[in-house]
């Protein structure tokens, strides 16, 4: 599998994503700076990592969505190749139009950092097929993690089976308890919790292991 992690000014989970991917699958990821206009050849997977791209100015992910590299990321999606946006990466995917809806300020108006239980709504996707159980646990770390979409969009997401992860405790007040969604084609996923922070048995956190195993199998 060939993978790349996009690095924006303010990304802070780029290394987490790359090392988790390598630890679980053996695949090494290239780091791609936001100012690049092309991706490495023959990529299977692009990861948009967590962090605070551009310091979350304007809105979280709004400036990153307009970085030069994002045109190449959109072409990657159009070709049917895999994209995973984690936390800030999810925000970027909504801001650039690859996923519907928006990530807004948490209902508590506070930054939330905690482990949270998740229901796996779809176990037949490129991002979840390695999960054996219907639930897992991943950490969240966000101030703007509340997924919001209008009623028509929510109805379409639910009806099309595009909700992939759902909060069981909904720490940030997301619409329909949504923690992660995918596009119509099923090759682009945005997820607010961090699989990259829980893919190491040595620290007793393994909720993200099957996430990366799934990506490797799909690629």
Annotated catalytic sites, by residue? 87, 194
The neighbouring-strand residues paired with 11 are: 51
Cβ atoms 30, 4 nearer than 8 A: yes
What would the two tokens of residue 107 be?
């209902």
* Among the listed residues 3, 168, 174, 14, the one whose alpha carbon sits nearest the alpha carbon of residue 88: 14
Close Cβ partners of 132 (under 8 Å, ≥ 6 residues apart): 210
Cβ atoms 178, 160 nearer than 8 A: no
Q: Write b or e for each residue in 155-191: b if 16 or more Cβ atoms lie within 10 A of its Cβ, otherwise e.
A: eebeeeebbbbbbeebbbbbbbbbbbbbbeebbbbbb
CA of residue 128 relative to chain centroid, distance: 12
What backbone phi and psi angles, to 5 degrees, belong to 187? -110, -5
Cβ atoms 187, 83 nearer than 8 A: yes
Q: How far apart (Å, rounded) are the C-alpha atoms in residues 213 and 138?
A: 15
């Amino acid at each position: 599998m060939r993978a790349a992690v996009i690095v924006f000014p303010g990304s802070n989970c780029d290394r987490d994503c790359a090392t988790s991917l390598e630890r679980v699958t053996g695949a090494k990821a290239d780091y791609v700076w936001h100012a690049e206009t092309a991706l490495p050849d023959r990529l299977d997977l692009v990861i948009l990592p967590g962090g605070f791209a551009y310091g979350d100015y304007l809105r979280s992910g709004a400036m990153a969505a307009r970085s030069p590299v994002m045109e190449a990321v959109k072409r990657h999606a159009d070709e049917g190749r895999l994209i995973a946006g984690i936390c800030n990466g999810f925000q970027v995917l909504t801001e650039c139009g690859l996923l519907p809806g928006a990530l807004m300020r948490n209902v508590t108006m506070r930054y939330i950092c905690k482990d949270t239980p998740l229901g796996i709504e779809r176990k037949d996707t490129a991002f979840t097929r390695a999960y054996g159980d219907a639930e897992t646990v991943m950490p969240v770390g966000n101030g703007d993690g509340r997924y919001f979409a209008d009623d028509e969009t929510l109805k379409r997401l639910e009806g099309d089976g595009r909700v992939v992860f759902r909060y069981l405790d909904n720490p940030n007040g997301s619409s329909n308890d949504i923690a992660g969604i995918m596009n119509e084609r099923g090759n682009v996923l945005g997820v607010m919790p961090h699989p990259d922070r829980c893919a190491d048995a040595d620290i007793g956190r393994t909720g993200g292991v099957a996430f990366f195993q799934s990506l490797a199998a799909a690629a």
